[in-house]
Structure 1
């Protein structure tokens, strides 16, 4: 019994650490969904680890912005858009543009997320029931309807702690699934080092993936929602240090999980000259080296990533509108139920029209970058106002981080415009 006690103690500590995770779990939920998984797998299969530097910068700036938005909420008591509307000269216009831009991007992402998640479940079923292959469209559509209807019912529970616990479960499963997959395949160490040197692949689709990387890992929705989730956690100005640790931890985990997914795809597909064009290609990432069970495990991680993103994507539009109106999200209101119901119907458009969910997902991530500069500019103006921030002073290093993030977002937005013009 004495030998087993330390093991039980360590296991309990790990569980307590996971369950004790704060609002940062929503940041991971927004960031690492099927959009991130798709972008990382496609990039890893096509360009090896060449875009690792984009991921690193995106996560670095995301950590800074999560920290700043969280501090702003704890010090002022305001949420993001309500504060913009109340204190900035053109704050109402800025807030409305942000609501439209972020909601459009997230609802497009939701179409891709639901499409990929439904196809993943179909492929897992098809491994065991070969006769299903002839009815792929019908089965995928039914699965999509069941998933989105189930999540809508869960949304009606309407409690922060409930959402948080479900996200903890999905994110934990996702992280362990992809880390396990990394044991089977890895990229060369030299390729990882080269990936930290800024270069853009000079091939069709290279600029598109760079924009998609930033759109999925430096998501505007993550920062805008943080004040509401920080307040939902019950934190106050006494939790500033805790909020800082939570933001840093979230940014590190986003980088580690995303880089792991890219590395798995690079190790399994790039060196064999294979590219990802549909969901089944993602399923086959590990099959050459690990067989059917590794495929199922990898799929389980991708599915967990998708399911962990559905909650945040359904929440974003009512959350931003409530933020603009009063700064308080009422998940029991009629407005909340109607908006989330509309989001559910939008999510079904992709599966209903049998659209390629991978193309939808990558395009939606590109659209997400265009609203990012407005979100960064808004918080810079807020934290620079002494009347708003009271006695709290933002450090020079944080200001440098915010302005660097603004410059980076503008460059990526321009890159996104060029990529879309080339695509269409």
Structure 2
């Protein structure tokens, strides 16, 4: 009985540690979703560790941007888009462009997330009921409608915060499963070191994959929502150090978990020449550690990651519009219900028209996320260097260098994404 009680106590402590993170845990839950898992697995299985440098730079700049947006909110008490409109010349046009661009990117991600999740649930059903394989399209579409309807219903009754905490735990278990499997299946250390050398794979799809990497790891929506999460935590100027630590922790954990996923895929699939092309292929990296349970364990983790991403993707458009209007989000308003309903209908486009190619849908959606990124970086640079607005708080040279470098990096990646799309289509 004492041993059982001890185990329960340990589990409770672990859960409390996970839930004890600051707003950074929302950034992790947002970033480590189906899009991130898909991009890392496809990249690792196709290119080995060649794109580790892209992941490192994306996480580095993400940490700086999370910190910058969080600090701005603590010092001024204002949110991102509302400030763009209020304090930047031409800020209204800038903010509207960001709302449209981020919404398109996130709704595209939502299509991919729902498509992959529905296909995974279909595969689970098909393992037990072979007869449904003859009706794959219809079954996947019915599953997708049921999933999105459930999530929409939960959002309407205001269960977002509670449900997201549960999903954060699922995502944590998913990340741990890949980190543990890394001890059993991993690339050569020399390959990991070579991965830090900047280079773009000179093969079809290489440029597009680089853009997808940045789109899923350095997501504009994560930074724009940071002020609202910080305000929701009721942090103030006295919590500047806490905010900095939270941003650094988020960036490091995103790099570790995402890097582990890519490394496992590289070690298990790259040298065997088995790139991830379908939903079932995505379960292969866990096979060496999980054996016959590989599919079930992977599906559980990836579904958890996907579910944790559906809420933010549904929430992002009404959140940004409310931010632009007043800097506050009302989940009970008619506007909120209508916009999230539209997002749900857009999400169904994925399984309805691209049900057979969920991996491609997800990769493409991540590519589109990078095109609004330079504007989001430029906006926070202008705000943080407004002396009157910052009330005497001076942005450090290191942060400014990081932000300007992030701006240059985002412009290069956006251009690279355009080239990738032109080559691919």
- Structure 1 length-normalised TM: 0.96
1:228 Cα deviation from its structure 2 partner: 0.8
Tell me if the contact between 2:22 and 2:246 (Cα under 8 Å) persists in the aligned partners. yes
Partner-residue secondary structure (3-state), 1:284: helix
Partner-residue secondary structure (3-state), 1:199: coil
Q: Structure 1 residue 257 and structure 2 residue 257: aligned?
A: yes
- The 3 A distance-change label for structure 1 pair 105 and 3 is closer
- Structure 2 partner of 1:367: 368
- The 3 A distance-change label for structure 1 pair 121 and 180 is farther
Query: Which stretch of structure 1 is more off in the superposition, 265-274 or 288-297?
Result: 288-297
**Pairing 1:33-44 to 2, within 5 Å after superposition:** 33-44=33-44
- The 3 A distance-change label for structure 1 pair 159 and 238 is farther
Which sections of structure 2, spanning at least 5 residues, go unmatched? Answer: none
1:190 Cα deviation from its structure 2 partner: 1.4
Q: What is the distance in 1 between the residues matched to 2:159 and 2:348?
A: 25
1:354 Cα deviation from its structure 2 partner: 3.8
User: What do you get for the CA RMSD once the two structures are aligned?
Assistant: 1.8
Partner-residue secondary structure (3-state), 2:274: coil
Q: Structure 1 residue 402 and structure 2 residue 403: aligned?
A: yes
Q: What is the distance in 2 between the residues matched to 1:368 and 1:354?
A: 19
Query: Which stretch of structure 1 is more off in the superposition, 139-148 or 95-104?
Result: 139-148
- Structure 2 partner of 1:65: 65
- Structure 1 partner of 2:310: 310
Q: What is the distance in 1 between the residues matched to 2:160 and 2:131?
A: 42
- Alignment length, in residue pairs? 424
Q: What is the distance in 2 between the residues matched to 1:123 and 1:159?
A: 29
Q: Cα deviation per residue 1:188-208 (whole Å; 9 max; x = unaligned)?
A: 221111111111111111111
Partner-residue secondary structure (3-state), 2:214: helix
- Structure 2 partner of 1:239: 239
Q: Structure 1 residue 415 and structure 2 residue 416: aligned?
A: yes
**Pairing 1:343-358 to 2, within 5 Å after superposition:** 343-355=343-355, 356-358=357-359
Tell me if the contact between 1:31 and 1:217 (Cα under 8 Å) persists in the aligned partners. yes
Which sections of structure 1, spanning at least 5 residues, go unmatched? Answer: none
Tell me if the contact between 1:105 and 1:367 (Cα under 8 Å) persists in the aligned partners. yes
Q: Structure 1 residue 279 and structure 2 residue 246: aligned?
A: no
1:281 Cα deviation from its structure 2 partner: 1.5
- Structure 2 length-normalised TM: 0.95
Q: What is the distance in 1 between the residues matched to 2:281 and 2:9?
A: 41
Q: Structure 1 residue 50 and structure 2 residue 41: aligned?
A: no
- Structure 2 partner of 1:188: 188
- Structure 1 partner of 2:382: 381
